[in-house]
Structure 1
């Protein structure tokens, strides 16, 4: 699974969730999450699943299988 940073950011902001809150809920650093949203970092399948769970969306909503 390859994360789609644009989708992660859009869903996070739609849920009124800041990076700090996502950091607290996932245990991932804000810096990492920010780089992930900008497409500068990849993520393991477990990380994608964790973020999807916290955002309450299916993993497919925040991944790009076509890359």
Structure 2
């Protein structure tokens, strides 16, 4: 399943926790460049498991870092 990450929310939460991009990369095992592109909304969709990994590392629910689709 693919989801739309909310890069601004990821960055805001990471910075509020005084967590560097490098530290988030270390926590998630994801490449820093990839995380940077996510934060800058250059990646429009990613795997739900990737978003879950980031949410777990930030200790927030996945809904806090994704764009919710309205129907």
CA distance in 1, matches of 2:69, 2:18: 28
Gapped runs of 5+ residues in structure 1? none
Which residue does 1:62 correspond to in 2?
65
After TM superposition, the runs of 4+ consecutive aligned structure 1 residues lying more than 2 A away are none
Paired residue for 2:16, among 14, 17, 26? Answer: 14
Which residue does 1:31 correspond to in 2?
33
Gapped runs of 5+ residues in structure 2? none
What TM-score results when the alignment is normalised by the length of structure 2?
0.89
What TM-score results when the alignment is normalised by the length of structure 1?
0.94
Count matched residues. Answer: 67
CA distance in 2, matches of 1:29, 1:35: 10
Q: Quick check: which one's strand share is greater?
A: 2
1:43-54 aligned within 5 A? 43-54=46-57
